[in-house]
Structure 1
Amino acid sequence: MAATLLLSACSAGSDVAGRPKKTAAGVGDRLTMAYQAAPPSLDPAKIDQAFSGYLSPAYEPLIRRASDGSFKPGLALSWRYVGQDNKTFELVLRPKVTFADGETLTAQGVVKHLRYIQKTGGSSAALLTGATFSAPGPRTVRISFATPNPVVPDILTQDYLIGDVISPKALAKPANLSTTTAGAGPYMLDPKETAAGDHYTYVPNPHYWNKKDVHYRRIVLRTIANPNTAVNALKTGQVDVAAADYSVSAAAKSAGLQIVQTPFVIQGINFLDRDGTKLKALGDVRVRQAINYAIDRKAVSTALLGEYGVPTSQFTVPGGEGYVSENKDAYSYNPAKAKQLLAEAGYPDGFTLPMLSSPFAGIGTMSQALSDQLAKVGIRVKLHTVPNPSDYVKQLSSGSIPAAAVGYGYQPTYMEGVGLFMPTASVFNPRKSTSPQLTKLFNNLTTASQHERPAAARAVHKWLVDNAWFAPVAASPVFYYARPTVGGIKVSPKSPLANVADWYAVR
């Protein structure tokens, strides 16, 4: 997951400029979409979440996450937790569903798919750790977890790939999944019109159960690494939609393109040494709070992300799960307060803060801005810049440096705990920082009912802010730029990844 969260993605909802006012009219001839990187594989069990857009045309998820974050039936018509402990989850499948290769959807086939995802050990496999699967009936699937899991509906959506069910026939020859698709989605890959690493062509799946969701006769996903090249391709009509970053937002706006975005990646400082073993100062909550007060979030956000940056003191996004509105300005810019706290903690002249950084995904520019901010209160940041993203992740995972500039994509709080702030988070919490209070609050979240879950998530995030577990600075959006001939591109804080299967042609 680490690669995804570092790659990924203003108001509580999405912001759209230039959205077409007309409605869909018939089936479009061709949709061309540009992504900045090509997938290393097309196997749902091996691909990273960052490349899920290459799978969404061909795979129907068990549960579909709508653009507003709500859950809708996909291959499953209904689902529920069995009992009160969030350990057992049951789905009832849609009848008469056929995969693109002609295979029929069955409960036993879904069980085989889930076991394959689990044993393959890809980026999503950790979400199924300790789970077992069974088929009590021909259309009933049961998932049992060793420990409570309150986010099973989330992980079975298109966002986390687990729910993208693979045909049982294809599972008999899994090596082929890296270059072909074998789903029950609206489209399927056309290998003859595909050049791996450059472009991927999808044509309608003749067996798809919901024909009205087939909006194009052909979908082409292209790899265009340079965002400026992607915008130029949009201007000339070579591309209809492009996923790119903030750097081309002005050019897109001047060209009259649609700009669809929502806050997604929270950028800031991750304190890796909260017990003060390597750097005594960070073991004092007053020092961590001082660092938070020393940051002018509005100035940094505006400088780095313009009108689209969202200043934040929380590792969640406005409108996202766990967001505490009262904590919007929990650490308003107050350098005098920062100096006072540093003096109280025994550091009236400040101290040196070693911090990991990388030019990847905007982390470098953020770390430099934070270095300038912290210097004003006497904290001398010593940046350890690692150019290669993989090496950066290795350094982060080692916990050898007391702090790191990071970017982390929004997730439901339980997943964020597993991957970011609980002892299980091997990459982002390598020194296994913990607290009895945090553990108690997190355990409350894991067993909370779906009705209780929002309040339990807010309690976790409030504790993280109060105890300065991090120094979040700004939420960076995920951007989609599009020509006015494409409709249906929508995102929201709880559903930041637009789904190509929802888009349609506008006449």
Structure 2
Amino acid sequence: MPRRLAALLLGLLLVLLPAAAEAFVWARSSDALTLDPHVANEGPTVALLQNIYEALTERDRAGRLQPLLAVSWRMLLEDPAVWEFKLRDDVFFQDGSRFSADDVVFSYRRAMAPSSGFRDYLASVVSIEKLDDLTIRIRTRGPSPGFIDNTQAIAIMSKAWAERNGAVLIPGDAASEANFAHEHANGTGPFALVSRQPQIMTELRRNENYWNRRHVALGIGTLIYRPIPQPGARVAALLSGAIDFLQDVPIQDLPRLRAQPGLTVTSGVENRTIFLGFDIGSSAPRGTRAGGRNPFADLRVRRAMNIAIDRDHLQRVVMRGEALPSGIIIPPFVNGWSRELDTPPPFAPGQARQLLAEAGYPQGFSTTLYCPNDRYVYGEETCRALVSMFGRIGIRVTLVSQSQAAQSKALAQTPGPDLFLAGWGAPTYDSEHVFSSLYHSRDGRRGAYNATGYADPRTDALIGEISSEIDHGRRDALIARLWQKLRGEQIYLPLYHQMLSYAMKDAYDIPVDVSNMPKFKLVAAPAR
């Protein structure tokens, strides 16, 4: 069936599907991978689950850290390797049980498991203990001033609920249906799970006993989440009135939606950079034909590919202005960013061909690029443009377009894909998170999302120094030093910082959340 026809039919189907009365329907391009809050550190999954589960802290729409389940915290003066948290005493889980320190201790230990996608956030943690029902202490491997920024990522589960339902451990296959938490949920958040049909619909209802209800709008009674992979179908569903809020707006439709009566479009810069990664660790990547060698292990090849990318073309033509060309894989508001680091290399295909010849590939080579087709704004279109750019310097690329679910599984493997497109944000707004997740060797604590095979003892040691340095000036100097080192090694090729646009019925006003995690508890009911 042609893609255009399929999109139109899906749009019609969405109009006909029943929805709960007075429901607010939220659509985006891909579904959450799981309902288990400690499995997948992946955008759509976290965006959905933040409505059900909560952490000790949270980021507001502008990215500022705020208290949530914790009312206060401090690094102990007598022992700066220990953080102490005071917890709220008026919080209940959605099953009616009371929240306490036991749940925090349980959740943090669970999130530290080898199968957790969030273990990088807790890589510095040595122990967590309960002092009383409303006080916990977390000990880190030496002073860790940046640890507080990681607490917004660790969702708190009910210990009793997990024990009662056999969900204490995360299965080795994190998406296994044997894990009760994969399709069931019980958090302290503003919405509770009603039903879930993966890839079709997830229905949440307002938590009428939400502890923070007096301080948030909480104007949505029923929140329905619908993944719609096809861009045309998403827009058709919004125009028909079948959905209220569209998160992943196709770029080509922005002018039309901005001019459409009855709709509102909000825009802003996202905390996310899109980049390419390589398998540099294998002797001969599986989908690459280069005379039995791994071309990506050669810095000259990586440099050649970097300057073969026409980032201005990606910005102007592919992304239609909705992107900022980048030279580093953190956006401007993350600690460690500088204009110098973020200046992309000049487009120089002639020099790129010379570098390939110097590396022993005068005729180029063939490889495979793995690209998610339902995750990033114009991600697949970006990949197609890259295939053409690399072809001009003799690198023949086969494009494998796949779902984000399949891409995530591939990136979790060792070795990872030969060549891959990915995106990353820094939810801590600090470079240490990016270093720990993407550059540190995979050691069971850090490097969970390092699919490149890159493992350098000096890099690992610098990351360790950064995590424990309490002097802000020295710490920033270490971060700058490591970025200079990594920028020279070109383990990843930054493409652009992603822009965001949301489209919605004009009864609502939902500004862009810089982390692309719209907070529906802040949405007021539409005026009658």
Please indicate, yes or no, whether the TM-score normalized by the shorter chain is above 0.5.
yes
- 1:98-109 matches, within 5 Å, as 98-109=92-103
Structure 1 counterpart of 2:518, one-letter code: A
CA contact (8 A) 1:188 1:205 kept: no
Q: Closer, same or farther in 2 for the Cα pair 1:473/1:211, shift >3 Å? A: same
Moved more, 46-55 or 135-144: 46-55
- What residue is the counterpart of 1:263 in the other structure? 270
Residue of structure 2 aligned with 1:468, choices 458, 469, 490: 490
Q: Closer, same or farther in 2 for the Cα pair 1:245/1:96, shift >3 Å? A: same
CA distance in 2, matches of 1:84, 1:406: 46
Residue of structure 2 aligned with 1:422, choices 427, 434, 440: 440
Q: Alignment partner of 1:77: what SS?
A: strand
Q: Closer, same or farther in 2 for the Cα pair 1:485/1:337, shift >3 Å? A: same
CA distance in 1, matches of 2:461, 2:39: 34
- What residue is the counterpart of 1:324 in the other structure? 338
CA distance in 2, matches of 1:110, 1:408: 30
Q: Alignment partner of 2:319: what SS?
A: helix
CA distance in 2, matches of 1:285, 1:40: 35
CA contact (8 A) 1:63 1:74 kept: yes
Residue of structure 1 aligned with 2:87, choices 90, 93, 105: 93
CA contact (8 A) 2:185 2:193 kept: yes
Q: Closer, same or farther in 2 for the Cα pair 1:180/1:358, shift >3 Å? A: closer
Q: Alignment partner of 1:486: what SS?
A: coil
Q: Alignment partner of 1:232: what SS?
A: helix
CA distance in 1, matches of 2:356, 2:111: 49
Q: TM-score with structure 1 length normalisation?
A: 0.79
CA distance in 1, matches of 2:363, 2:71: 59
CA contact (8 A) 2:336 2:476 kept: yes
CA distance in 2, matches of 1:54, 1:387: 21
- 1:75-474 matches, within 5 Å, as 75-82=69-76, 87-119=81-113, 121-125=115-119, 127-128=121-122, 131-146=126-141, 151-157=146-152, 160=153, 162=154, 164-174=155-165, 177-190=181-194, 197-225=200-228, 226-247=230-251, 248-255=253-260, 256-273=263-280, 279=293, 282-339=296-353, 341-342=355-356, 345=358, 349=362, 351-352=364-365, 354-358=367-371, 360=373, 361=375, 364-376=380-392, 378-383=393-398, 385=400, 387=402, 397-399=413-415, 403-411=418-426, 412-424=430-442, 425=447, 428-434=450-456, 436=458, 438-449=459-470, 451-452=472-473, 453-474=475-496
Gap regions ≥5 residues in structure 2: 1-21, 167-179, 285-291
Q: Alignment partner of 2:215: what SS?
A: helix
- What residue is the counterpart of 1:496 in the other structure? 516
State percent identity of aligned pairs.
18
CA distance in 2, matches of 1:429, 1:95: 42
CA distance in 1, matches of 2:480, 2:206: 44
Deviation at residue 390 of structure 1 after TM alignment: 5.8
Deviation at residue 68 of structure 1 after TM alignment: 1.6
Gap regions ≥5 residues in structure 1: 1-28
Q: Alignment partner of 2:247: what SS?
A: strand
Deviation at residue 426 of structure 1 after TM alignment: 5.8
CA contact (8 A) 1:295 1:333 kept: yes
CA distance in 2, matches of 1:149, 1:229: 47
Residues 106-140 of structure 1, C-alpha deviation per residue, up to 9 Å, x if partnerless? 22332133334445934324544564220123321
CA distance in 2, matches of 1:168, 1:346: 55
Q: Closer, same or farther in 2 for the Cα pair 1:274/1:172, shift >3 Å? A: closer
Moved more, 272-281 or 224-233: 272-281
CA contact (8 A) 2:220 2:525 kept: no
CA distance in 2, matches of 1:284, 1:168: 49
The one of the two structures with greater contact order (alpha-carbon pairs below 8 A, sep at least 6) is 1
CA contact (8 A) 2:440 2:450 kept: no
Instruction: Number of aligned residue pairs: give it.
Output: 468
CA contact (8 A) 2:100 2:133 kept: yes
Residues 350-409 of structure 1, C-alpha deviation per residue, up to 9 Å, x if partnerless? 632524323634555434322322344x332343636465665566534386x4132122
1:32 aligns with 2:25: yes
- What residue is the counterpart of 1:16 in the other structure? none
Structure 2 counterpart of 1:234, one-letter code: L
- What residue is the counterpart of 1:485 in the other structure? 507
CA distance in 2, matches of 1:122, 1:178: 13
Moved more, 90-99 or 141-150: 141-150
Structure 2 counterpart of 1:55, one-letter code: L
Q: Closer, same or farther in 2 for the Cα pair 1:506/1:457, shift >3 Å? A: farther
**RMSD value over aligned CA atoms?**
3.6
Residue of structure 2 aligned with 1:55, choices 43, 49, 62: 49
CA contact (8 A) 1:150 1:414 kept: no
- What residue is the counterpart of 1:20 in the other structure? none
Q: Alignment partner of 1:385: what SS?
A: strand
Deviation at residue 470 of structure 1 after TM alignment: 2.3
Residues 8-29 of structure 1, C-alpha deviation per residue, up to 9 Å, x if partnerless? xxxxxxxxxxxxxxxxxxxxx6
Residues 57-106 of structure 1, C-alpha deviation per residue, up to 9 Å, x if partnerless? 33332101112211111111122334699753321112333333333332
CA distance in 2, matches of 1:180, 1:98: 17
CA contact (8 A) 1:167 1:182 kept: yes
